[in-house]
Amino acid sequence: MPAIVLRQVTKRFAGGPPAVRDLDLTIPDASFTTLLGPSGCGKTTTLRMIAGLELPTDGEIDIGERNVFSLAQGRSLAPAKRGLGLVFQSYALWPHLSVRQNIAFGLEVQKVNRAETKRRVEAVAESLQIDAYLERYTSELSGGQQQRVAIARVLVMRPDVLLLDEPLSNLDAKLRMDMRAELKRLHAETGATVIYVTHDQLEALTMSTHIALMRDGVLQQFAPPLELYAQPANRFAADFLGNPRINLLEGVVEAGAIVSHGLRVQVGGDGVLAARPGERLTIGLRAEELRLEREGGSGRAAVRILSVLPTGADWYYRVGLGDAVLTVRDDRHPDLREGEQVWLVAAPNPLKVFDEAGRSRTALSGRDAPAAAAQAPGPAPIERRESEREEARA
Amino acid sequence: MITAVRRFRLQLTPQRLFAALFLLVLGYLVVVPLGVMLQETFTVHPLERFQIPGAMTGDFTTAHWERTFVGPHSYAFFYRPLINTLIIALSLSLLALVIGGGLAWLVVRTNLPFKGLISNAAIIPYVMPSWTLALAWLTLFKNQRIGGQPGIFQAVTGIATPDWFAYGLFPITITLALHYFPFGFMLIGGAIRNIDAQLEESAELLGASRATILRRVVFPLVLPAIFSTFLLTFSKGLGTFGTPAFLGGPVREFVLSTSLYANLIGQRPGIGYIAAVVMIAMGVLVLYMDHRIIGARRSFVTISGKGARAGLVDLGRWRTPLAVLVLGFLFSVIAVPIGALAVDTVMLRPGIYNLQNFSLHYWIGEASLAIGLGTGEPGILRNSQLMGALGNTMRLAVVVALVCGVLGMLIGYTVVRLRGTLVSRLLDQLSFLPYLMPSIALGSIFLALFAIARGPIPSLYGTFWLLVIACTVSYLPYAVKAGVNAMMQIGPELEEAAIMSGASWFTRMRRVLFPLQKATYFSGMLLPFISVTRELSLLILLVTPANQLATTITLRYTDRGWYPYTNGMVLMLVIIVITSTIVSRRLMKTDLAKGLGG
């Protein structure tokens, strides 16, 4: 299945900043690539440009060996000729047609003969377990069933590339978990290249082989999910991924360590960092990279426990360090109470350090990532907090 | 430069092509006519060169404007008709408002019985040609002033009706108000229905009385709909032609529309065109007031409704008398006029109402100079002239409904798909423009525009297609409104999903967009169909003896005093219109209120 290459793709809508700016992206063959970012970051626009529903203002797009859009050559292949299928966020099922007619529509338009159409519709319906509802109208189906019909309508065309625009956002949390597994299975079975748009970082982390993180129309980082999690290219990427949010702590470089309110994080010997003594840097510490000790010691900082947040599986603590509030995951002290004073130890793995512009000093990939100082460590996008809440309920 | 050309080529989507096409066509059919009409007011016409010393046909002149506004006859030409028009429009609007609003309140907010029947019947007066009531009025109340036999009233009671009652401003106002009150019924009824019951309940909890709630809560909330109704009927009153022609003619009482017509077909076309300009200016003024008073609300008020709601006012012992009153009123504005017209067609000698006089002569009789009126015309059903005119009307109605339906759908599609762009706004407003032009003025414009060949466009005067174009432009606001509404209901992704499947634009229209909003599109076609069937003022200037329509030929029979023929024709039109409304409501689930909107 084909790789998809975007070269210098820009999209400008009338009277606004560019929705997508100079996007260079190679989506690997047979990958499950997620376009991730807060709303308005240009991820859906990018998807629609690949689909051919939106005309880029500039740039080129290749799907496999074929160039499907090139401004310089004045070429824009019709959406249906690009060999891809798109599942819409709202599903876009035609309410005046039955499930069978919805799924068969594309085959009829392509003048596939009747017997073949029937066979293919029924096969795809069976594989998605909606064969019992073929004669119903879509309004008679539940959200999850409608979702399957939307996917079936696309899969019946046997696309090389499957585009999914926030397909799970209209489902409840439990159904969402099931559909994630289902989509992963579909990806494995069809071998299609999947491009998946979401603002939900957990969805992106659990399903993708690659994530393209976007913000304000600019690509922030393109990497496999765990690399993106472990080595965010800038402060925005660090902040956007992970639940609970990463702790971002400002400190000063002192003799091979970054020190903040008495907490020392060793950085010495790491050639990538190239820190100068006295430089102010931000260090990113995920909750699982922090732990609490009852005894003080070298590099440990005294903190007060502000709240204890057990989730059942894990114990989270909110602790105050100077004027900063950090989230710590530590399962070894179920008896700790609010108000107690304990000692905080940081053991980042790997080290995540950002300069004043917000660029990572430590990430291996995405060294040329855009600066992100303006945002971090601002409040998380609202949508993401909502998704966090839903996860908590699930 | 080359990139710009390539980008342009890439962006040639169907909606952009349509936008360009429609802007061009509407520009020619809507904007150019306005210019042509203004130009005509400064031009010497063939008959006018004798009235203006030393002028040649086609010369530039300001004489028309001078004669209209400051000449010795300007009172008769202009000011008197203007004052009459304003009096009629104002009083008919108030009357229609009171009747329609009162009826709406009774039906929506009280426990009046027979609501279903009443709300269905209350729309019928609007569906009938506006001058049906005028003809019925004449049939019932005419006196001997215009010659021939007196009306039914005098024949039965022996009392001669006074002129002011039989003809002129009084009956014009009454019959028009009875035609337009359904506007108030639908618009105000919709507004009352949309009031959240909690607003009234909160007032009630605070201890307000029924009357206080009505005055302080309901009335202010309905006020925009009341203004809307008022301005709508007012602007209709400004432009209406048939009723003042039938009822004002016998006493030579003119309004702007009838004076425009008389001047235009008479010897003073220049003055006629000035009357048209004045009427359009007043239309614009009304719309401006509408915007100022109602603010962001368009005069198109969407009519939406939920079912019955709690908290109906109990009419108590007034319930039955009120029901009788309302039903009696509707009966007398629907059944009585139709009945009067029907009776008149089967009375051999006019003015004598008894069984011996019964005859089907005017329906199926042979041509004769001796029987009855001695017109020398065969009965309506075997009269090739009348039946031909009726056939023309039906043909025109069907063609215009189809053209309007398709245009409304395509323009609606273009406007919605390009929403937020200048082109979309321009197209929306251009297609709304004919709404402001009184139809008699619009007719005169098309006469001016197509009387001679202009550039590549041939003279269409005297052809069927000129009638089609005039009607299409005139009803375009309604058709486009329906088309835009329909498209707004359909999310763009429903079309995009079809694009992704490889469906061509035509397939998308045929298999997705049209089926999804069938009822709205059919409603958008029903209104032009009905309107053409009863259209008189728009077409009166454009028809020629070769392409007479049922309505225009009716006027000629009236001029000769051959009322049984006129009434028979009107009766058939009424039956056609009411039947098609009911049938399409059953078959296509059309809703006239949807297409009407104003």
Give the mutation candidate from A45, A88, A154, A156 for the B interface (greatest B CB count, under 10 A): A88
Shortest Cα distance, chain A CAs vs residue B343, angstroms: 49
Query: What is residue A239's predicted lDDT score, i.e. its pLDDT?
Result: 93
> CA-nearest residue of chain A to B502?
A80
* A143/A165 Cα distance (integer angstroms): 16
**Inter-chain touch A94–B497, beta carbons under 8 Å:** yes
pLDDT, position A212: 96
Q: Please tell me the distance from the alpha carbon of residue A56 to that of residue B299, in angstroms, as a whole number.
A: 39
Q: What single letter denotes the amino acid at residue B488?
A: M
The letter for the amino acid at A361 is R
Average pLDDT, integer, range B131-155: 78
Identify which of A310-319, B71-80, B205-214 has the greatest average pLDDT. Answer: A310-319
Give tens-digit pLDDT for B93-112: 999 999 998 998 888 888 88
Cβ–Cβ < 8 Å for A308, A337: yes
Q: Do A231 and A362 touch, CB atoms closer than 8 A?
A: yes
Q: Which residues of B touch A197 (CB under 8 A)?
A: none
Residue of A55, A109, A153, A156 to mutate when probing chain B, most B C-beta within 10 A: A109
- pLDDT tens for B491-547 read 888 999 999 988 888 999 899 988 888 888 887 788 888 888 888 888 888 888 888
**Minimum-distance CB partner of B493 among A79, A92, A96:** A92
Task: Show the domains of chain B with their CATH numbers.
Answer: 12-31+371-598 (1.10.3720.10), 74-304+316-359 (1.10.3720.10)
Of the partner residues A73, A93, A106, the one whose CB lies closest to the CB of residue B502 = A106
pLDDT 10s digits, A53-63: 988 999 999 99
Q: Is there a contact between B516 and A78 if contact means CB atoms under 8 Å apart?
A: no
For the cut 70, the answer to whether the pLDDT of residue B295 exceeds it is no
Angstroms from A131 CA to nearest CA on chain B = 21
Task: Give A-chain residues touching B6 at CB under 8 angstroms.
Answer: 71-74
Q: Are B7 and A71 in contact (CB under 8 A)?
A: yes
pLDDT of residue A386: 42
Give me the CATH topology for the region A244-374: OB fold (Dihydrolipoamide Acetyltransferase, E2P) (2.40.50)
Main-chain dihedrals φ then ψ at residue A306, nearest 5 degrees:
-90, -40
How close B498 comes to chain A (CA, Å)? 8
Whole-number Å distance between alpha carbons of B540 and B537 = 5
For residue A316, the 8-state DSSP code is E
Chain A residues within 8 angstroms (CB to CB) of chain B: 14, 51, 53, 55, 71-74, 76, 78-81, 84-86, 88-90, 92-96, 105-106, 109-110, 153-154, 157
Please list, residue by residue across A225-262, b when 16 or more beta carbons sit within 10 angstroms of its beta carbon and e when fewer do.
bebbbbbbbbbbbbbbbbbebbbbbbbebeeebbbbbe
Of B3, B491, B500, the CB nearest to A51: B500
Judged against a pLDDT cut of 50, whether residue A169 lies above it is answered with yes
Chain A partners within 8 Å of B11 (Cβ): 55
pLDDT(A268) > 90:
no
Determine the average pLDDT of the residues in B145-174.
80
How confident is the model at residue A105, as a pLDDT? 94
- Give the model confidence (pLDDT) of B325-359 as tens digits: 999 998 888 888 888 888 888 877 776 777 777 77
pLDDT of residue B133: 85
> Hey, what CATH topology would domain A4-230 get?
Rossmann fold (3.40.50)
Query: B124 vs A115, which has greater pLDDT?
Result: A115
Fill in the DSSP letter of residue B452: S
Peptide bond connecting A377 to the previous residue in cis, omega within 30 degrees of 0: yes
Beta-carbon separation of A109 and B500 below 8 A: no
Alpha helices in B53-141 (DSSP H): 63-69, 74, 80-109, 115-121, 124-127, 132-141
* A17-22 mean pLDDT: 91
Q: Residue B462: its pLDDT value, please?
A: 81
**Is A79–B500 a contact, with Cβ atoms under 8 angstroms apart?**
yes
Looking at every residue in chain A, the average pLDDT score rounds to 86
Task: Tell me the torsion sign for CA atoms B433, B436, B439, B445.
Answer: negative
Q: What is the pLDDT of residue B142?
A: 80
Q: Which residues of A touch B425 (CB under 8 A)?
A: none
CA nearest to A73 within chain B: B6
- pLDDT tens-digit map of B447-492: 878 877 877 778 888 888 889 999 999 888 888 888 888 888 888 8
Interface of B with A (CB under 8 A): 3, 5-7, 9-11, 420-421, 491, 493-494, 496-503, 507, 511-512, 515-516
Pick the residue from chain B with its C-alpha nearest to A107: B501
Whether residues A96 and B507 touch (CB distance < 8 A) is answered with: no
Residue of A nearest to B6 (CA): A74
A105·B503 Cβ contact <8 A: yes
H/E segment holding residue B449: helix B439-450
Predicted confidence at residue A394, as pLDDT, reads 40
Identify the band that residue A372 occupies on the pLDDT scale cut at 50, 70 and 90: low
Q: What is the pLDDT of residue A380?
A: 38
Q: Where does chain A hold its CATH 2.40.50.140 domain(s)? A: 244-374
Task: Give the model's pLDDT for residue A369.
Answer: 65
Q: What is the mean pLDDT of residues A69-88?
A: 89
Q: What was the pLDDT predicted at A38?
A: 93
Whole-number pLDDT of residue A366:
56
Task: Report CB contact under 8 Å: B6, A88.
Answer: no
In this predicted structure, the answer to whether residue A364 has a pLDDT above a threshold of 70 is: no
The confidence score (pLDDT) of residue A318 equals 95
CATH 3.40.50.300 in chain A is located at 4-230
pLDDT at A225 (0 to 100): 94
Closest CA to A91 of A134, A28, A151: A151
Residue A392 scores a pLDDT above 80: no
At residue A231, the pLDDT reads 92
Give the model's pLDDT for residue A19: 92
- How far, in Å, CA of B250 to CA of B240, rounded? 17
pLDDT in tens, A302-359: 999 999 999 888 899 999 998 899 999 998 888 888 999 999 999 888 889 998 888 8
Q: Kindly tell me if the per-residue pLDDT of A7 is higher than 90.
A: yes
Distance from CA of A93 to the nearest CA of B (A): 7
Looking at per-residue confidence, does A307 or B257 come out higher? A307
Which residue out of B417, B501, B521 would a mutagenesis test of the A interface target, given it has the greatest number of A Cβ atoms within 10 Å? B501
Average pLDDT of chain B, as a whole number:
81
pLDDT band at A272 (very low <50, low <70, confident <90, very high): low
